[in-house]
Structure 1
Amino acid sequence: MSAQASFDEDYVLDETRQWRGVYSKRINASDEDVVRTLGHIKRTGISAELYRWMEEDRIAAGKQAGPKPAMDFAAVLALYLTLACAGQAMTTRNAANLARYGLSDHTRRRLGIELDEKATADAVYDRIDRAFHRLLAVVDPEPGPRRQKMSREARQNHLASLDEDAVRMRRERLHQICNALIVQSYKDLPREVRRRWKGNAVVDGTVVPVHSRGHSKTSQWISTEYEAGWYQRKGDHFLDDDAPTQQLKNKGIFGYDAAIVSMATNDPSRVTTFPQLAVGMSFDKPAVEPGQNAIIALEQMNRAGLPARLIIGDRAYGNSPLAENFQIPARELGYQLLFDMKVDDLGKPYDEGHFIVLEGNLYSPALRGKENLIKATVHYRVDKSIDYDTWQKRLEQRAKYMLQPHEAATREGGGQQMRCPAAGPNPTVACPLRPRDIEAETGKHLALLPIMPKNVPAEHTRGKLCTNAGGTSIIRGPVYDRQAMDPRIQFGTPEWYTWYSTTRNTIESVNASAKNGAGAALAIADRRRIRGYAANYIFTALLLVATNMHKTEVFMAKNIQVDSRGRGPEKKNTPRLRDVTWGKELPKPWNAPPKKRRQRERGPDWSPPTRGESAI
């Protein structure tokens, strides 16, 4: 016997929900949620900065002071951040719904929102909208009409009317407040957790789609999102000049490129003892200036006092044509570089006389003429004429010619003090220019690689590495600035691969967490129905803050064991299921096609299983 549901025939909709109209969606937040988000905004100090900038702009424009705003900058940002943390769409309607119906009177007073009983959600909507656009007026570098499309000619006239100094100043303000929001996630970590991070970071660009529709370059109109551009996951990941063809336009994404910098592990062989949060970002058109955009984020991190040690990036940041855009500024900020090499730069030595730059590492000129060692990576990754073990043996032999870092940190200006491999207490080669009795000097019996006299640098090419008594010299120059990586990690070795792959997985994980549709949903443009470079920049920063908050909560719940040196336990090499099933495979070259999967051996009587039967 089953019970039949009964319904009250005279049921009446609750009075508080009878006249809400478009605000009928239920959005609530607890006092704790708002305390957390409002506290995060206030601790950054950006609200006071925004008011100071607004006052400076008012005085410069010669305007009279107006009435006190009905809603504070911190309050409106806290409302949007609360929506982001709750996984709700960051729309003004949702913010008004939350402020009018989803908060207690006590929480509204904490936000500085005073409402009487007759205040409608539409009135709250107007307050939030005016407050946010008042904020944008202070930091938007390219203000302009957003409610209707412009012709290309009108767009050029609009750009010509802008003051370059004002554009530059507001762009700097925008970078400052957005990065202050993100860095505060790191500063809010417990002190003992925060100090475990030594400064390693990884950078990558990710596309942020916009709600507005893009146009092709043949159209006489441009999008209302006129600062955005077309992005395509192919080659260098961007489409030139607003989708040149309809075919590419259909495959592309119209939006912005967010260069995100994330905290990276101190040791890839151990469990990380801190949450790997996003700590910096910049915003631009897709793949316009990846190196310069990364430097903007690193400079903001440096201004906030974050440590700097190693910066890892993909080929978009490594050995770029202009070292002034990324490599030199990164070294001046105290970073060592680690990146993958482009195929064109493999096996290509740059001879500077007293040292050689090869695949990002610095070598002794005694390496000249040893083609098997110089071309080892080319023979493995390009020609495929040698196997993995042979490649690693040649790299190990080549490592004996590497210059040794005399100082861990870079010098002011980006230079690095290096030492000849035949000098110092632990030489790896025996050079005729430095005759030594190592066993008598150090008491060590070292098997040194002899350098033939024909490979010794000519007298007119010898630099300070060869002539200084200590065999040290500060290395600088165009080739070093563009090509050199961290001298402690040799390119192509398991150590390099572990560092590169682990940190690259870290930044991809940060991007995936921010774009997760069940969370921040950065990849869903409908969740950010707002136009403009500045507005999308701020919303992206808030979504990264919400992602950081979630990552921090997850990490603190893990209770990872930490030793006296702040290190986590060593990682366990858990075998992959396919390795268990098919056998372990050797490392493969990065650009080689995947090998065909080996088929299981089948008996002569084997036949494909029918439905419901096991395939074993």
Structure 2
Amino acid sequence: MSGITDGALEVHDEVQESTAFEHLLDDAIGTTSGRTSKFDLDDVRRAATMIDGSKMLEQLATWRQEARQGTHPGGRPPKIDDRVILIVLLLLAREHTPLWATEMGAVLHRRLTKEARVFLGLPANLSGTARGRTEARRWYNTAWNAFHRMKALMDPYPDTPLYRLTNRSQRDRIVELRDPEVVAQGRERLNWFSDSLLEMTFRLLPRDVRRLINQHTTIGIDQTPMVAASPRGRSPVDKETGLELRVNPKTGKNYSDKLVLEQDSGWYPINAERREESGPGSKPDKDFVWGRAGSIAVLVPNRPVNQAEFPNIALGFSMSLPGTQHVASETVRVLQSIADRGHTPGTVVADRLYFATLSAKSLHIPVKEMGWAVITDYKKTGLGIKGGKAGAIQVEGRHYCAGTPMDLLNASVDAEAHTIDDDTYRKRLEERTAFELRPKEKPDARGHTPMMCPAVGPNATVECPLRELHRNATDKIRIAVLEGNVPKAPDSICTQSSVDFGPEDGIRDAQLFRYQSKEWSDAYRIGRNTDESYHAYVKDVGHEAADTPARRRIRGFAAHQIMATMLLVSANIRKIVTFLTDRETRTSKSNTTGQNLGPLRKTRRRDREGISNYKAKWPLRVLPGAPAGEELDPPLRT
């Protein structure tokens, strides 16, 4: 009998209708997830090998033993252990399924094959009575309990109520009674968790790739907002006391006493121009989101290449409360962890929030002591003359002769003000290199370097009235220091053969390459673009969706970092698989044709033909009679 008669739906007689259709959903009774595909033994074994290889299980066992203080565990043995719940989390993250307790329970209940269940030590078969919501709820409780048992070992804020709203006085009381040692221990353990799993993904790379990376590890580091599971936010806090402000310091108006679920969060400024503000006013403000700040260190190329030499994966991660006061400590911690894991410190690329803003004591000095070189950009206020030593003038991270012309010293200032064109700017930068101080010797064991005037020695680059040209100097043409630029009271850089520069001299603005040089432009552009690309990659809503709180509803700081780490692990694995696939494809095609076919991906037409409308600074406002500027490299992303 046809189901359609003259365009109208025909109603079947119940007696004649088969009962098969109405029983299609019988197997779904009691389930809480719409996902019915099963993970087989290979899926589970692969995830288990990764978890076992991270060494995280041994560390969790050690922490649990420390928490028990030598006593034996009491009560009924848990149905599943840390290993099983971590395997389930990794399976869900790799499948791009929301990391909910209901989804974890669904995997344990109905989404494992018989062989996979036996491998994990779960009942091989579910009896007929195991169908229905009651059994699904039992597995949900099993997953929920296992996750929270593991989380409790790393929770820096175990005193925070996550299932009832708190007012301002209750939150202040919790903060006042907190044990700083418990907070520090929890943060340290969470970071250990993140680092061990990310390091595990690094070891998934072939040995030749790992060795190439470790020759000179180049890291791009940046913070990204990690939105909390609950959007309820409180008033901003005092940076010194950590207690909530009662009055808006700008407007003088009182902040309302808001009810909050996740108090261990803060207001993250989406708008970079409002970074120094502690949060929004009384009205809703789209420039801020309620959550935490995630510091992600990403492997970036250390030179321009036609095809990727390694995948750009996250190598370090930590989470903190938003605020510039936490940026330096989190950056130092992440970089120290990378070095402690055996990676050779090379170069760290960062935007203006870091080395151009923060104090040398909190960031620059410890980073240099670890062996990391810096590549960064400067703020407008960081351009031009910024102090010096012994008569030498410091400009954008380099020290120059005391007789350097002012138009060369202020080249970047004039370019930023659009009073010179690009061609003039580049010429001035090139001329300025001749006035740069040169090292007389390599740094000693303490990091001290004797620096000498550019007019000294057989390789002098300028001629100065205060210096006699070295007898072995070549006859090449040199720039002369004008009489009007010679200092009236010469300092030691003009009178001595060399001046000792310590490791902290000029460190506030020092960086690896000359600012705005071709080397700097390549390194900074590649590093920043790669870093930003990874952040967008892990936030892709079609995959990890790390920026979507609805995909991870378990509340709390510790739960947030655990799940964010699993999402980064998933993103790293995706990156590695893509890299290995591309490499294998290149190899197979090369073997087939007997020639190297070059990169699989073409350079974007926007970059190939220079048709992008965006430029970092150029074209400048062209002055009357000024020559046309040369075409620049592709634009910077800052």
Q: Say whether the fold is shared (TM-score over 0.5).
A: yes
Given candidates 521, 530, 539, the residue that maps to 2:545 is 521
- 1:509 matched to which residue of 2? 533
Given candidates 226, 235, 240, the residue that maps to 2:272 is 235
Given candidates 45, 50, 53, the residue that maps to 1:40 is 50
- 2:429 matched to which residue of 1? 395
- Say whether 1:193 aligns with 2:209: yes
CA contact (8 A) 1:264 1:506 kept: yes
**Where does 1:227-306 land on structure 2 (aligned, <5 Å)?**
227-236=264-273, 238=275, 240-248=277-285, 250-288=286-324, 289-306=326-343
Distance 1:361 1:573 in 2: 38
CA contact (8 A) 1:140 1:534 kept: yes
SS of 1:398's partner is: helix
CA contact (8 A) 1:328 1:414 kept: no
Query: Could you tell me how far 1:422 is from its partner in structure 2?
Result: 4.5
SS of 1:480's partner is: coil
- 1:600 matched to which residue of 2? none
CA contact (8 A) 1:209 1:524 kept: yes
RMSD (Å) for aligned C-alpha atoms: 3.6
Given candidates 392, 395, 412, the residue that maps to 1:377 is 412
Distance 1:203 1:395 in 2: 28
Matched AA of 1:168 = A
TM-score, normalised with respect to structure 1 = 0.83
Which stretch has the larger CA shift, 357-366 or 517-526? 357-366
Q: Which runs of 5+ in 2 are unaligned?
A: 236-254, 591-596, 623-638
Distance 1:28 1:201, change over 3 A: same
TM-score, normalised with respect to structure 2 = 0.81
- 1:203 matched to which residue of 2? 221
Distance 1:555 1:570, change over 3 A: closer
**Where does 1:318-397 land on structure 2 (aligned, <5 Å)?**
318-367=355-404, 370-382=405-417, 384-397=418-431
- Say whether 1:500 aligns with 2:515: no
SS of 1:215's partner is: coil
Distance 1:578 1:556 in 2: 26
- 2:251 matched to which residue of 1? none
Distance 1:584 1:539, change over 3 A: closer
**Where does 1:121-270 land on structure 2 (aligned, <5 Å)?**
121-143=136-158, 144-197=160-213, 198-217=216-235, 218-236=255-273, 238=275, 240-248=277-285, 250-270=286-306
Matched AA of 1:225 = E
- The percentage of counterpart residues that share the same residue type is 25
- 1:589 matched to which residue of 2? 617
Distance 1:125 1:572 in 2: 45
CA contact (8 A) 2:266 2:321 kept: yes
Query: Could you tell me how far 1:39 is from its partner in structure 2?
Result: 1.6
- 1:75 matched to which residue of 2? 84
Query: Could you tell me how far 1:445 is from its partner in structure 2?
Result: 5.2
**Where does 1:84-103 land on structure 2 (aligned, <5 Å)?**
84-103=93-112
Matched AA of 1:54 = R
1:270-329 deviations in Å (ceiling 9; x for gaps): 433111111011111223422221111111111111121111100000233421221111
CA contact (8 A) 1:376 1:395 kept: yes
SS of 2:362's partner is: coil
Query: Could you tell me how far 1:585 is from its partner in structure 2?
Result: 8.0
Distance 1:446 1:496, change over 3 A: same
Distance 1:466 1:72, change over 3 A: farther
Distance 1:400 1:240, change over 3 A: same
**Where does 1:473-484 land on structure 2 (aligned, <5 Å)?**
473-477=500-504, 480-484=506-510
Query: Could you tell me how far 1:204 is from its partner in structure 2?
Result: 0.8
SS of 1:139's partner is: coil
SS of 1:88's partner is: coil
Distance 1:304 1:48 in 2: 17
Distance 1:176 1:261, change over 3 A: same
Query: Could you tell me how far 1:73 is from its partner in structure 2?
Result: 1.4
- 2:625 matched to which residue of 1? none
Query: Could you tell me how far 1:85 is from its partner in structure 2?
Result: 0.9
SS of 1:520's partner is: coil
Which stretch has the larger CA shift, 227-236 or 257-266? 227-236
Matched AA of 1:450 = A
- Say whether 1:56 aligns with 2:66: yes
Distance 1:261 1:276 in 2: 10
1:487-540 deviations in Å (ceiling 9; x for gaps): xx1112233222211111101110011000011001111001111111111111
CA contact (8 A) 1:418 1:473 kept: yes
Distance 2:334 2:444 in 1: 21
Query: Could you tell me how far 1:467 is from its partner in structure 2?
Result: 3.7
Given candidates 583, 588, 592, the residue that maps to 1:559 is 583
Query: Could you tell me how far 1:18 is from its partner in structure 2?
Result: 4.2
1:546-567 deviations in Å (ceiling 9; x for gaps): 000000111111128799xxxx
**Where does 1:382-531 land on structure 2 (aligned, <5 Å)?**
382=417, 384-404=418-438, 420-422=453-455, 426-430=459-463, 432-433=466-467, 435-438=469-472, 446-451=476-481, 461-462=491-492, 467=496, 471=498, 473-477=500-504, 480-486=506-512, 489-531=513-555
Distance 1:593 1:112, change over 3 A: farther
- Say whether 1:104 aligns with 2:113: yes
Query: Could you tell me how far 1:166 is from its partner in structure 2?
Result: 2.0
Distance 1:573 1:348 in 2: 42
Distance 1:525 1:235 in 2: 22
SS of 1:365's partner is: coil
Which stretch has the larger CA shift, 40-49 or 422-431? 422-431
CA contact (8 A) 1:264 1:503 kept: yes
Query: Could you tell me how far 1:252 is from its partner in structure 2?
Result: 2.5
SS of 1:20's partner is: coil
Distance 1:466 1:43 in 2: 61
Matched AA of 1:210 = A
Distance 1:591 1:454 in 2: 33
Query: Could you tell me how far 1:390 is from its partner in structure 2?
Result: 0.3
Matched AA of 1:169 = Q
Query: Could you tell me how far 1:253 is from its partner in structure 2?
Result: 1.7
CA contact (8 A) 1:237 1:287 kept: no
Given candidates 545, 558, 565, the residue that maps to 1:534 is 558
1:566-610 deviations in Å (ceiling 9; x for gaps): xx9799995735985x9788965179799xxxxxxxxxxxxxxxx
- 1:602 matched to which residue of 2? none
SS of 2:209's partner is: helix
Distance 1:419 1:275 in 2: 42
Matched AA of 1:201 = I
Distance 1:180 1:579, change over 3 A: closer
SS of 1:559's partner is: helix
1:67-122 deviations in Å (ceiling 9; x for gaps): 54332212211211111111111111111111221111222233343466355222
Distance 1:438 1:571 in 2: 53
- 1:316 matched to which residue of 2? 353
1:233-265 deviations in Å (ceiling 9; x for gaps): 2235548444223142x4422111111111111
CA contact (8 A) 1:332 1:412 kept: no
SS of 1:362's partner is: strand
Matched AA of 1:475 = G
Matched AA of 2:361 = E
SS of 1:225's partner is: coil
Distance 1:181 1:407 in 2: 43
